[in-house]
Amino acid sequence: MNPAAPINHDIVLVGGGHSHALVLRRWAMNPLPGVRITLISRDVLTPYSGMLPGYIEGLYSFDDIHIDLTRLCAWGGIRFIKAHMTGINLEEKTLQLEGRPDIAYDVLSLDTGSTPSLTTPGATEFSTPVKPVHSFLERWQAVSQGNAGTWGVVGAGAGGFELVMAMARRTGATPSAVHWFIRGVKPMNKRPARVGELALKAAQTAGVQVHTQFDVAEVREASVVSVDGRVQAVDELLWCTGATGPQWPTAAGFQTDERGFISTDAYLQSVSHPGVFATGDIGTQVDTPSAKAGVFAVRQAPVLFHNLTAAVTQKPFKTYTPQRDFLSLVSTGQRQAIGSRSGVTFSGKWVWQLKNWIDVKFMRQFIDLSAMTMPTPKPDPEAVMRCNGCGSKVPGDALNTVLAHLPVAKVNSVDAAQLLQASDDAARVTWHSDQLIQSVDQISALMDDPYRFGRIATLHALSDVYTQAAVCHSAQVILTLPHAHHTIVTRELQQVMLGVVAELNAEQCALIGGHTSEGSELQVGLVVNAQPTEAPPRSDGPWAIVLTQPLGVGVLFAGLMQNKTAGVHIEAAVEHLLTSNRLASAVAQQHGMAFCTDVTGFGLLGHLHALATREQVVCTVKVASVPLLEGVADLIDSGVQSTLSPANQAVLAEVQGAESLTTVQRIALTDPQTGGGLAMLIPQTHADQCLQDLRSAGLSSACVVGQAVVRIDTTESEAPICVG
């Protein structure tokens, strides 16, 4: 989206198929001011079906055949929401999403694919459909590592042929190891007869057991049965027959064809519901139907892109007419392929080389994003791309300098100067005869998903309270929403607040008010009130330093801004960001937690330094024991760090042994953490049991990263932090 223009329209794309991937790329190169485009996908990686057989054979890596939707959207300024759509309310123009609030749209596009028809008895229970591809790949990876025994493939089309050949080449098929079940006498009967003949010969040469005229009547747990009574034993059966549509289009009220696909017109628009487009497998043009093949989805993309923009600008639509003839290339394995066009059939290594060139060229559009020329304004040489989340905090030295010289006074029995000097995570004040713990935190959005960001910001703010023995009582929200049309503002506000309330309710914390405003970017802050509880007596040291979550959130999101971070690494980090520190705090208190800090904006060393200075202890960090999120070390090696990291590294001047740290260690230990875990001082005698209880509570990353002792020399000569 273009942040310089207020948002007036929401275009939502559901599914990361070939058409949508190309539309996203075009949109990134030609954004429309005032229009926000959102991609909703269940997965952060979308497979390219054209290279699937090569991956099965071992010619391509997993990364080679997948488009990283998180990176693509971040590069293109497109909002990405990882969610599974379960239904559509066409009257209200909302999408039902599994486990989260509905999403509203102005214009909708669907590219969600198809699945093989599983109406044959036993097929659902005892076979693995090849589509959706992500589900098939999960099954393939699970069983291909060991000895899967015999494989079977049902389906005489190009997909079934390529799959059976790839498996035969990968497994080095011995007789009876791979079986291919064909309903007729030859495969691919919708292509030139010579193609079927060459395919049949190639399969037999590769050692595949081809079962012709095998019309499957039933699938059993370890066998497949034909209509004429033949039975063939197989350990793993893959289903690659004709495609069928899902149930939700009909349930939503779309006009569909006989197989359940959305009926569309020449503009790729639903014939029953204008304003909703359907491309790829999920749509079928009423007047010019075409095969469910990737070549058509790719050709639909330019027309879809034009018509989506035309739908919000009130410009004329373009028509899409599928080509009657196209180049067909099917791999036979071992870098050989069969091709056909205009009735002419050809085969050989050069055909595979052509197919490989086309496939790699297609994927390069989504892998080499940094090489793309983007239509951005001339940059200001003095400007710096700032990180969000806790990476956008004011540096600690600036904050401390200002706070130290504020002319605060003792008012209503509250000694403000003493509280500010204490520099604790949350302030504890006496209110008449009771005590109140209060904390405030505000962060800018580090992701475009407003619901998940609302949850993350809430847990981040509550974290300060959990550094003490306390229970949350109430909270007020401070919310800044991006400038937009009032309808868009309402949608954004609803998503953010549903996320906030979801976590407040889970933490038994009441929402009691707040304040909203509009600005240049989404920001969420909370003032949290808590009641102190009676904590177990603090034991004397020595203590183990227990860290509950790995480090590197700042690096990962900084890398995403540079198109370097993998989407799967972002999703893994988000799982940690959505983990409350309440359970960790409760477990630690049961084991005599002496001191605690949450690890957020100033990094592990910054927060430990503040704790050690305040509590007069000395902390020794075993650097090799500090866990990092996956992908962090490689990103740091490539030059990535948060914009706050250099300022955070000022603490290294007061860390004994800092000169021995590697670049990765130095940046990781000072990396600003949004929604970070807790660093807790637990008596050494309780450390092992505490770790066991933390892991039983679901905090699998919890570990001991050092030890702490009471500071004996309180002069400046003894460093409060040591690393080794």
Q: pLDDT tens, 590-604?
A: 999 999 999 999 999
- 409 pLDDT higher than 60: no
> Region 256-283: what's the mean pLDDT?
95
- 505 pLDDT higher than 60: yes
Same domain? 38 vs 161: no
Considering only CA atoms, which of 645, 641, 622, 624 is closest in space to residue 632?
A: 641
Are 524 and 390 spatial neighbours (Cβ–Cβ below 8 Å)? no
pLDDT of residue 419: 41
Are 113 and 249 spatial neighbours (Cβ–Cβ below 8 Å)? no
Counts of helices then strands in the chain (DSSP H, E): 22, 39
What pTM, to 2 d.p., does this model score?
0.87
Average pLDDT of every residue of the chain: 87
Domain boundary pick from 296, 324, 352? 324
Are 290 and 85 spatial neighbours (Cβ–Cβ below 8 Å)? no
> In this structure, which amino acid lies at residue 201?
K
Listed in sequence order, the residues at least 6 apart from 275 whose beta carbon sits closer than 8 Å to its beta carbon are 93, 106, 107, 108, 269, 311
Residues β-bridged to residue 595: 681
Is residue 59, in this structure, part of any structural domain at all? yes
Between strands 703-710 and 617-621, the pairing is: antiparallel
Q: pLDDT tens, 65-100?
A: 999 999 999 999 999 999 999 999 999 999 999 999
Domain CATH code at residue 496: 3.30.1330.10
- 218 pLDDT higher than 80: yes
Confidence label for 115 from pLDDT (cuts 50, 70 and 90): confident
- Scored b (16 or more CB within 10 A) or e, 589-628 reads bebbbbbbbbbbbbbbbbbbbbbbeebebbbbbebeebbb
Dump the DSSP string for 53-71.
HHHHHTSS-TGGGEEEHHH
Same domain? 622 vs 696: yes
Q: pLDDT tens, 163-205?
A: 999 988 887 655 568 999 999 999 998 889 999 999 999 999 9
Same domain? 281 vs 339: no
Between strands 283-285 and 276-278, the pairing is: unpaired
Residues β-bridged to residue 284: 263
- 386 pLDDT higher than 70: no
Domain CATH code at residue 604: 3.90.650.10
Q: pLDDT tens, 542-565?
A: 999 999 999 999 999 999 999 999
**Which of 113-117, 703-707, 711-715 is least confident?**
711-715
- 661 pLDDT higher than 70: yes
Domain CATH code at residue 153: 3.50.50.100
> Looking up tokens 């177990």, which residue turns up?
536
Confidence label for 633 from pLDDT (cuts 50, 70 and 90): very high
> Looking up tokens 């940046």, which residue turns up?
667
Q: What angle in degrees, to the nearest 10, is found between the helix axes of 193-205 and 158-171?
A: 20
- Between residues 393 and 142, the one the model is more confident about: 142
Confidence label for 368 from pLDDT (cuts 50, 70 and 90): confident
Same domain? 239 vs 250: no
Q: pLDDT tens, 245-269?
A: 899 999 999 999 999 999 999 999 9
Considering only CA atoms, which of 544, 524, 677, 663 is closest in space to residue 603?
A: 677
Same domain? 342 vs 235: yes
pLDDT of residue 70: 96
Between strands 721-723 and 655-656, the pairing is: parallel
Percent of the chain with pLDDT strictly greater than 70? 89
Residues β-bridged to residue 524: 443, 479
Same domain? 124 vs 237: yes
Same domain? 445 vs 523: yes
Same domain? 207 vs 108: no
Considering only CA atoms, which of 293, 343, 164, 315 is closest in space to residue 237?
A: 164
pLDDT of residue 146: 60
**Residue 451 to residues 235, 338, 501, 528, 653: CA-CA distances in angstroms?**
43, 49, 10, 20, 40
pLDDT of residue 99: 94
Same domain? 86 vs 233: no
Helix residue spans in 315-443 (DSSP H): 349-367, 396-404, 416-422
Are 123 and 221 spatial neighbours (Cβ–Cβ below 8 Å)? no
Is residue 134, in this structure, part of any structural domain at all? yes
Is residue 410, in this structure, part of any structural domain at all? no
| E strands in 279-354 | 283-285, 328-333, 336-341, 344-348
Same domain? 522 vs 447: yes
Q: What is the total count of domains within the chain? A: 4
Q: Is 430 helix (H, G, I), strand (E, B) or coil?
A: strand
> Region 6-25: what's the mean pLDDT?
95
- In residues, how long is the chain? 724
Confidence label for 295 from pLDDT (cuts 50, 70 and 90): confident
Angle at alpha carbon of residue 337, lines to 334 and 207, rounded to 5°: 50
Same domain? 132 vs 94: no
- 674 pLDDT higher than 80: yes
Same domain? 272 vs 365: no
pLDDT of residue 715: 54
Dist CA 592 CA 270 (whole Å): 63
Residue 676, domain extent: 538-724
Is residue 387, in this structure, part of any structural domain at all? no
Domain boundary pick from 503, 534, 565? 534
pLDDT of residue 378: 41
Confidence label for 244 from pLDDT (cuts 50, 70 and 90): confident
Whether cis (ω within 30° of 0) applies to the bond prior to 375 is no
Confidence label for 132 from pLDDT (cuts 50, 70 and 90): confident
**Which of 87-91, 424-428, 433-437, 495-499 is least confident?**
424-428
- 403 pLDDT higher than 60: no
Listed in sequence order, the residues at least 6 apart from 214 whose beta carbon sits closer than 8 Å to its beta carbon are 181, 182, 183, 226, 230, 232
Dist CA 487 CA 493 (whole Å): 10
